[in-house]
Amino acid sequence: MVVELGHFALILALVVAGVQMVVPALGAWRGDGRMMAIGEPAALIQLGLLLASFIALGYAFTTSDFSVANVFQNSHSTKPMIYKISGVWGNHEGSMLLWVLILALFGAAVAAFGQNLPATLRARVLSVQASIAFAFCMFILATSNPFARLDPAPVEGQGLNPILQDPALAIHPPLLYAGYVGFSIAFSFAIAALIEGRTDAAWARWVRPWTLAAWLCLTLGIALGSWWAYYELGWGGWWFWDPVENASFMPWLAGTALLHSALVMEKREGLKVWTILLAILTFSLSLLGTFLVRSGVLTSVHAFAVDPERGVFILGLMVIFIGGGLALFALRAGELRQGGLFAPISREGGLVLNNILLTTACATVLVGTLYPLALEAVTGDKISVGPPFFNLTFGPLMLPLLLALPFGPFLAWKRGDIGGAAQRLFVAALVALVAVVVSLAVFQRGPWLAPFGIALGVFVMMGAISEIAHRVKLGSASREEVLRKIGNLPRSVIGTALAHFGVGLMVVGIVATSAYQTETVLVMKPGESADVAGYRLTFRGVSPSQGPNYREQIGTFEVTRGGEPVVALYPSKRIYNQPPQPTSEAGIHASWRGDLYTVLGDAQQDGAGYSMRIYFNPLVRFIWIGALIMSIAGCISLADRRLRVGAPIRGQRRRSSPQPAE
Amino acid sequence: MISCGHAMRCLRRMTALLAMLAVMAVSAPVQAVEPDEILPDPKLESRARALSLDLRCLVCQNQSIDDSNAPLARDLRLLVRERLKAGDSDADVMSYVVARYGDFVLLRPPFKWNTLILWLSAPVLLLAVGTMLWRSTVGAPRGGTINAAGPPLSRDEEARLANLLEVRASDPATPPDEGRPRQPG
């Protein structure tokens, strides 16, 4: 009964979305205020219906109602409750329902918080937003109904893929989707602006908080996925340039570019046409990501849906939204007045460089991901495009970006002084040089470029610190003055510096772990020891154990350093009951130097020992800590009163921003 | 060396199971590089590892033979080591493997006519996006000291400039009481 109600609520949501798509747009076109006003209640009702639908599916999962095909295929009665809940989105149908739910959530947020948007703009935004919701509700109902019943109902379910039964992966999809789908707001605003034929700084100020919110969710989501892959897949890697990873990375790159170009548009009314285009492209890449993962076209790590009918449907949706958006752009972009002229060396110039490099990097990932598919379709030739390709093409684009990054915030708008910026970065450059020497001394082997990579990361981090130090006049003003200035720093400035600091930290982690990871592969018998990165690991044997829905073999390592006990590590091998599938759980000891990462292999044929894999990953945590810092920085920026959702009213804005921009 | 039937079986397993790792599951007690594969000469071994990173495990999705635990990946790893022991150079080993398995085995595709677009897209796009953005916003000389060699402003542009400066005066970044255009530089 509940399940049928959920199904019915989904159908109603489709109808409401249809109304919300058509009526407010018509109203905006005819200047009819009452028709436009339908947008807000419709958006809220749509959210309510989708929420009800989602809760109904959640109810079926938590009560293990195996008469629902989706629950039967993806759940099991003995599964822990958290994975029964995460099972709702751990499959194709449920995750698409989550997708539209989050879409509706963003739409409703515009309805609720967009009171000060011009009426026609708000009506059009809600209408475009509803058109996406309509299309995806249609997709779910036509090809991926999560509420389909089975008759007769099976007694037990088939279970969830064990590698997906993990806390990080339970919240990874919702975060990722909040990022993907959040960019729909930027898209809807862009389309609405093109229909209206005008955009201004206020437009950018409305769009930026939404983009920022989506961006920080996507950052967290990608980082969580990478962290999960690191500890779950068991070979110490954290990024594989897998097509499905790329699918989420492309919107992230474009979204990052969009955040920066919208800044130029907001402050200087420059880059208008480009910002609109980026807004369309960013969401297009989100749709492409959804298509790549959901259509099964890649059949890769995460592609759990292999069904051409769905692929064709999503492809159709993509053609409509991306094609329609770009066509509208081509027709109307000429009418948008460009403003905000500036010299090459200026804050704007720096942000343009950022955009050139980020969009090219994004395009490289796009081409690398799709090229093998396209080539095979056209010529039948099969080629592989893997990590060596991406490292070779993506890496060189990041170098100038990172090198230029610290200069950006030191350049004035319109026309900057590169010499002055360089002077202010003198200390940062000095610290970076020290970093070269230190890393040469600490890691005596490894590629000769690596110390410079680390130095680049340090330069970016120190650049961010220098910017804050310069703003609060550290070293030249009195202590009270500095403290007062610190208290008065706008949150967006703190957010920017912190995000850039996070980028630098991440770069240090990436370079250190890529260049200096050590791997030891050996056979160990109980009682034997191995020395890795200053640690001594003594293998104490393997014992069997029983988990809630799996059996496991747990290996025990005693780890000492300089004779002092440090920790005991328990790498294990599990076999899940349903589906009967083994997984490997790494035993990891994290410290500020890096991670000691142990993987239990198989018993040797003669029974006299186990094959072991012991990694030391220097500074690897910096990667995720960096991403976390970037997300926190996003939150801080979001809390800036000038960026508060719906804040932009001219009078208010003036009163609330007493600080000059530089 | 590996039968088609075997490869097909692997592929069927792949699609049947929900994720790549499942392969490890069914296909037995093999982990990526095993202790018994490692060459006694560390120089040779590190060359073998470097080559392995560029070679694709043919029955896997986007995994190098260095990462993969599929039996075919192990066969390839052993083959690479055999060739190295026989005294082949890195390039010899790669061309030996490519001759047997085709370009598909290379994770870094060779620069050929059918990969022209792949390899050239990044530099071409960099130039295209760069020129487009730069010219539409920065490149055009806007008078005075920014680009002294540029042509003088047209009357239309003068008017736009005056208009812009006026807009600047009411810019949020400028305190409201500072009602004059700020001096650039």
- B89 in the same domain as B20: yes
Would you state the structure tokens that stand for residue A132, as one six-digit string?
A: 């996406």
> pTM score, two decimals?
0.86
Q: What pLDDT is recorded for position B70?
A: 81
Collect all residues of chain B within an 8 Å Cβ-Cβ radius of residue A334.
none
Q: How far apart are CA A319 and CA A131, in angstroms?
A: 14
CA-nearest of A644, A631, A640, A645 to A659 is: A640
Q: Is residue A263 part of a domain?
A: yes
> Quick check: B183 pLDDT over 80?
no
> Helix (H, G, I), strand (E, B), or coil: what is residue A219?
helix
- B140 in the same domain as B101: no
Q: Is the dihedral of CA B126, B128, B134, B137 positive or negative?
A: negative
- A13 in the same domain as A134: yes
Q: H/E element holding A197? A: none
Structure confidence by residue, pLDDT tens digits, B37-49: 888 888 888 899 8
Phi-psi region for residue A527, left (φ > 0), alpha (ψ -120 to 50) or beta?
left
Contact B56, A384 (CB under 8 A): yes
Q: What is the average pLDDT across B58-68?
A: 82
DSSP assignments along A42-110, one per residue: HHHHHHHHHHHHHHHHHHHHHTT-TTBHHHHHH--TTS-HHHHHHTTTSSHHHHHHHHHHHHHHHHHHH
Q: CB contact, 8 Å: B120 with chain A?
A: no
- B145 in the same domain as B56: no
CA–centroid distance for A525 within its chain? 43
- A358 in the same domain as A221: yes
Q: How far apart are CA B65 and CA B55, in angstroms?
A: 6
Q: Is residue B174 part of a domain?
A: no
Mean pLDDT for back-to-back runs of 10 residues, chain A (662 residues) = 94 97 94 91 96 96 92 88 89 92 95 88 95 95 92 85 80 91 95 88 87 95 91 80 90 96 86 91 93 70 53 87 94 77 86 94 94 85 90 92 94 87 91 92 84 95 93 84 87 93 96 90 91 92 89 93 92 84 87 91 81 92 96 92 51 40 36
Contact A352 B134 (CB under 8 A): yes
Give Cα separations from A249 to A221, A574, B40, B60, B140 (angstroms). Answer: 10, 31, 40, 22, 34
Last residue of a domain, one of A144, A160, A176: A160
Domain total in chain B: 2
- B34 in the same domain as B86: yes
Q: CB contact, 8 Å: A377 with chain B?
A: no
Residue partners of B31: CB distance under 8 A and separation at least 6 = A599, A601, A602, A611, A613, B24, B69
Range of the domain at B57: 4-108
Q: What pLDDT is recorded for position A449?
A: 87
- B36 in the same domain as B125: no
Contact A387 B53 (CB under 8 A): yes
Q: How far apart are CA A142 and CA A136, in angstroms?
A: 10
Contact B64 A521 (CB under 8 A): no
Q: What pLDDT is recorded for position A101?
A: 97
Q: Is residue B144 part of a domain?
A: yes
Contact A352 B138 (CB under 8 A): yes
Choose the mutation target among B49, B104, B108, B153 for the interface with A, i.e. most A CBs under 10 Å: B108
Contact B61 A242 (CB under 8 A): yes
Collect all residues of chain A within an 8 Å Cβ-Cβ radius of residue B133.
271, 274, 352, 355-356
Q: Is residue B182 part of a domain?
A: no
Q: How far is A368 from chain B (nearest CA, A)?
A: 7
Q: How far is B87 from chain A (nearest CA, A)?
A: 24
> Which of B103, B142, B173 is closest, CB to CB, to A661?
B173
Collect all residues of chain A within an 8 Å Cβ-Cβ radius of residue B137.
270-271, 274, 338, 340-342, 348, 352
**DSSP bridge pairs for B56:** B64
Q: How far apart are CA A417 and CA A477, in angstroms?
A: 23
Collect all residues of chain B within an 8 Å Cβ-Cβ radius of residue A363.
121-122, 125, 129
Would you state the structure tokens that stand for residue B72, as one six-digit string?
A: 């075919």
Would you state the structure tokens that stand for residue A510, as one six-digit string?
A: 């990436």
Residues counted in chain B: 185
* CATH code, B101: 1.10.8.640
For residue B58, report the phi and psi dihedrals to the nearest 5 degrees: -70, -25
Q: CB contact, 8 Å: B153 with chain A?
A: no
> Which of A274, A348, A386 is closest, CB to CB, to B108?
A386
Q: Is residue A652 part of a domain?
A: no
- A309 in the same domain as A198: yes
Q: Is residue A404 part of a domain?
A: no
Residue partners of A520: CB distance under 8 A and separation at least 6 = A530, A532, A612, A613, A614, A615
Name the residue in chain A with its Cα closest to that of B22: A581
- A490 in the same domain as A467: yes
Contact A304 B107 (CB under 8 A): no
CA-based end-to-end distance of chain A = 62
Our CA angle for A502, A506, A509, nearest 5°, is: 140
Contact A371, B117 (CB under 8 A): yes
* CATH code, A74: 1.20.120
- Cα-Cα-Cα-Cα dihedral of A619, A622, A624, A625, to 10°? 140
Contact A24, A36 (CB under 8 A): yes
The count of other CB atoms within 10 Å of the CB of residue B149 is 5
pLDDT-based confidence at residue B168 (cuts at 50, 70, 90)? low
> Helix (H, G, I), strand (E, B), or coil: what is residue B112?
coil
- B101 in the same domain as B53: yes
Q: CB contact, 8 Å: A273 with chain B?
A: yes
Give Cα separations from B132 to A254, A542, B20, B128, B160 (angstroms). Answer: 17, 62, 42, 6, 22
Structure confidence by residue, pLDDT tens digits, A574-602: 888 877 878 888 999 999 899 999 999 88
Name the residue in chain B with its Cα closest to that of A661: B173
Which letter, b or e, does each residue of A473-493 get, where b requires 16 or more Cβ atoms within 10 Å of its Cβ? ebeeeeeeebeebeeeebbbb
- B16 in the same domain as B93: yes
Q: Is residue B133 part of a domain?
A: yes
- B33 in the same domain as B101: yes
Q: How far apart are CA A447 and CA A514, in angstroms?
A: 10
Q: CB contact, 8 Å: A351 with chain B?
A: no
> Helix (H, G, I), strand (E, B), or coil: what is residue A607?
coil
Q: What pLDDT is recorded for position A25?
A: 94
Contact A428, A482 (CB under 8 A): no
- B92 in the same domain as B57: yes
- B130 in the same domain as B44: no
- B124 in the same domain as B98: no
- B130 in the same domain as B58: no
Domain total in chain A: 4
**DSSP bridge pairs for A582:** A575
Contact A212, A258 (CB under 8 A): no
pLDDT-based confidence at residue B149 (cuts at 50, 70, 90)? very low
Q: How far is A502 from chain B (nearest CA, A)?
A: 26
Contact A601, A593 (CB under 8 A): no
Q: Is residue A500 part of a domain?
A: yes
Contact A511, A398 (CB under 8 A): no
Q: Is the dihedral of CA A359, A363, A365, A366 positive or negative?
A: positive
Contact A612, A541 (CB under 8 A): no
Residue partners of A441: CB distance under 8 A and separation at least 6 = none
Range of the domain at A473: 425-516+622-629
pLDDT-based confidence at residue B31 (cuts at 50, 70, 90)? low
Collect all residues of chain B within an 8 Å Cβ-Cβ radius of residue A379.
114
- A540 in the same domain as A473: no
> Quick check: B61 pLDDT over 70?
yes
- A225 in the same domain as A142: no
